[in-house]
Structure formats: C-alpha cells, structure tokens
Structure 1
Amino acid sequence: MTINQRIKKLRKSLGMNQGEFGQKIGMGQAGISKIEQDGNTVIDQNIRLICQTFHVSEKWLRTGAGPMESDDVSTMLARLQEEMDLTDLEMRLLQTYFSFPAEERQTFLAMAQKFAARLAAEKSPEERDRQREQATLDAVRQEFRDKRDSPTSTPSTITTTAK
C-alpha cells in the first residue's frame, strides 16, 4: 500500500469526503484528490498536518508499519482535549505532568495525596464560623439557664392579690 492509498484509507475511516478532509488541513478537495492518486508526492508539511490533525502515526502514514493511530503523549493529550473539552490551563498542566519521568510523577502524586488529605482534615472557614456561632449560642443558653435556675433569682411575674 502506498502513502497515497493510506491517506485515502484514513480519510474513508474517518467518514469524510475529500472536501471535508482537505478543509481540516487547509487544502481543497482537488489537492486531496491529487495526493490520494498513486505516484504523486506528498510533501512533508502535508504529512505532518495529517498526522497532527487526525492523530495518525507518522511512521504508519509514511511506511505502513505499526498501528495507524499515534501513541505519543502529545497525540493522546490532543485527543483527550477534544473529547473532554479541556482548557489551555488544563492542557498545560497535563503536558507538564507527563513531561516528567515516571519516578518524579510518582513523587508528585504522593505529595498531592498528602496535600489532599490535609485539606480534607482541615475545616473550612465556613465550618469554623458555624462552630464559633454555635459555641456562642450554647454559652448564652447556658447563662440563661444558670440565671433561671439560680436560687437568688427573682420571679419575673408580678402577683396580684384579690380585693
């Protein structure tokens, strides 16, 4: 199978016509028709565009060897970004994380787990405020009970005598 045939195979596997496929990589339908014809040269720029846009292994596209889908981290992250609608910040975080060696990623994860455990153990500012308010309310209630139950307290009702 030639590179031209592999491009056509890829396009058909994506369920696209030549115009749709070309639009994704900035080419017209006629340009795609031309690069799908056996014997026509496909320039490196178009090969890279096809691989990046459709997450295809450059090795497969050029030689037919290996799987069609690319398995490099940037391609997988690009797919994830599309599927999960990730923001630029989320993408930068993931790219940075995966740029570290596996051992450093494990160290980072261990630290993140400790951080999360500490956060979970701490009370939120709102919870601390509720506890303070409850403690104040409990103290006022107790003070009221103490005054009410004190033997020196005077009745608050006025008794009237019948005439």
Structure 2
Amino acid sequence: MKERIKKIRKELDLTQQKFADKLGVKRNTVGQWECGINAITDQVITSICREFNVNESWLRTGTGEMFNPSPSSAMDVLAAEYHLDQNAYVVVEKFLNLKPEYQKGVIEYFKAIAAALNSENMDDLSDLVPGSPEELEANYPPMDPDSTDRNIG
C-alpha cells in the first residue's frame, strides 16, 4: 500500500507536505507511510479516499481504477450521497432551478398543506391556496416544466 499512497500523491502532483496538510497530519507521517515505517489505519484509508476521491479497493489491493469517477455536477454528488432515484432527482433539480422567491412560495405552500393536515377541521382547506386562481397566475405565472433556467418567469 505504501507504493500506492506515493503514486496517488505523485499523480495529484502534491508534495508530502501538501498531501499531509489535506489529511491533517504531519509531513513526516506521510513519509513514514510511503517508506512502510508506520502502518496505515482504516481511518487514514477512509480519509485518503474521501479527500482525494480514491477508489478504496484500489488503495487496499491495487485492483480497479486509482480514482473514483468524478460526478459531473453538484446534483450528481447530492443524488449519490442521498441515494436519490430519478423522480427525487428531478424534484430537487427543478426546485433548485426556481427563482428564490418561487422556492419560498413552494415552501410556504407545503407549510400550509402541513398545517391544514394537522388542523382539527380538515373540512376547510380553502386557506391552502391563497387567493383566486387569477391572483395565483398573476403572482406565479406558469412555467415550462422542461426548463432549468433559474430566471423562470
């Protein structure tokens, strides 16, 4: 594993000091790992993989690719971290692409739904949608569902 740690560092064009700084250890600790003087703990392996996007299987055994594939966008990172299926991905993506004032409107709408569902009198849900349909359309014009432009409306 000592050779693979050095290979990662060289591939990333980092000195031992810069590599150590990113991991929060001393430079001589990295040197000792690379020389095989100090054992590499599971915690160190986890830190290296997280910090440098290294494939843990490669680091431990030398099999596979050195680095994990890089996500193509922040949404891909979010989807991977929270295990979003396609529907959830689209919901989050569309919400994030709304203008901030529209995001606030969506949040307020869901708060109103929650309040109505938690109220004792669920027969009167008229306050869920504030205003007439005309007022709603004037304040929140229809948007193209396929648009990802943050400046919708």
TM-score range, shorter chain: 0.5 to 0.7
1:76 maps to what in 2?
A: 71
Q: Percent identity?
A: 29
TM-score by length of 1: 0.50
Q: CA deviation at 1:63?
A: 0.6
5+ residue gaps, structure 2: 96-141
**Deviation by residue 1:48-90 (Cα, 9 ceiling, x = unmatched):** 111110010111101111101113xxx637xx55xxxxxxxxx
CA distance in 2: counterparts of 1:58 and 1:45, whole angstroms:
12
Q: CA deviation at 1:94?
A: 5.8
Structure 1 stretches (4+) deviating beyond 6 angstroms? Answer: none
Inter-CA distance 34–15: structure 2 relative to 1 (3 Å threshold):
same
Q: Does 1:95 align with 2:78?
A: yes
Q: CA deviation at 1:95?
A: 1.5
**Could you tell me which of 34, 38, 60 is aligned with 1:36?**
34
CA distance in 2: counterparts of 1:95 and 1:67, whole angstroms:
23
**2:71 and 2:77 in contact (8 A); partners too:** no
1:19 maps to what in 2?
A: 17
1:153 maps to what in 2?
A: none
CA distance in 2: counterparts of 1:65 and 1:118, whole angstroms:
44
1:64 maps to what in 2?
A: 62
Alignment of 1:134-153 (within 5 A): none
User: Which structure is higher in helix share?
Assistant: 1
2:7 counterpart letter in structure 1: K
**2:2 and 2:33 in contact (8 A); partners too:** yes
5+ residue gaps, structure 1: 82-90, 125-163
Q: Which has the higher contact order (CA 8 A, sep 6+)?
A: 2
2:4 counterpart letter in structure 1: R
